[in-house]
C-alpha cells in the first residue's frame, strides 16, 4: 500500500471521531506572478512538519471545570518501507515537548489508538 493510500485511510479513521479534526499539510514552494515580477512562495507549516495536522478536543478537569480545549495534533504518515527524516523526528519531539500530540504511523487503527491514549503533559 502506498503512503498516499495509508494517508487517506488515516484521515478517514481520524475524521470519524467527533473530537478530532485533521487537515492535509503539504509543505513546499511555488511561484506566483508573471515574469519578471515572479516571486517564490512557501506553503505548509515547515519542512519536517506532519503530513496531517489538526487538533483533538479535550475536557480539562477541576481547575477549568469542564472547559474544552484543542490539543495540537501532528500525524506523519509512512508507507511500509518509509523512513522518518531527522527534521520529522525533531518536529515530533518539539510538538510533544510543548504539550501537543505527534505520531508517526503506518496504520489507521494504530494512529487512532495512539491519539486516544496520548496523555496531557
53, 45 in Cβ contact below 8 A? Answer: yes
Fold of 3-116: Trna Endonuclease; Chain: A, domain 1 (3.40.1350)
**Distance in angstroms (rounded) separating the CA atoms of residues 71 and 60:** 11
pLDDT above 90: residue 70? no
Predicted model pTM: 0.79
pLDDT in the model for residue 20: 94
Break the chain into its structural domains and give their ranges: 3-116
pLDDT above 70: residue 108? yes
pLDDT in the model for residue 4: 94
Amino acid at each position: 500500500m502506498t503512503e498516499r493510500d495509508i494517508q487517506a485511510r488515516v484521515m478517514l479513521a481520524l475524521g470519524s471521531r467527533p473530537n478530532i479534526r485533521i487537515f492535509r499539510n503539504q509543505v513546499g514552494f511555488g511561484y506566483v506572478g508573471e515574469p519578471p515580477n515572479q516571486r517564490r512562495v512557501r506553503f505548509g507549516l515547515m519542512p519536517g512538519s506532519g503530513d496531517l495536522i489538526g487538533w483533538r478536543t479535550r475536557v480539562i478537569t477541576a481547575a477549568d471545570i469542564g472547559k474544552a480545549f484543542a490539543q495540537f495534533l501532528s500525524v506523519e504518515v509512512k508507507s511500509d518501507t518509509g523512513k522518518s527524516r531527522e527534521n520529522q523526528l525533531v518536529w515530533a519531539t518539539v510538538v510533544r515537548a510543548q504539550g501537543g500530540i505527534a505520531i508517526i504511523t503506518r496504520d489507521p487503527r494504530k494512529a487512532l489508538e495512539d491519539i486516544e491514549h496520548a496523555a496531557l503533559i
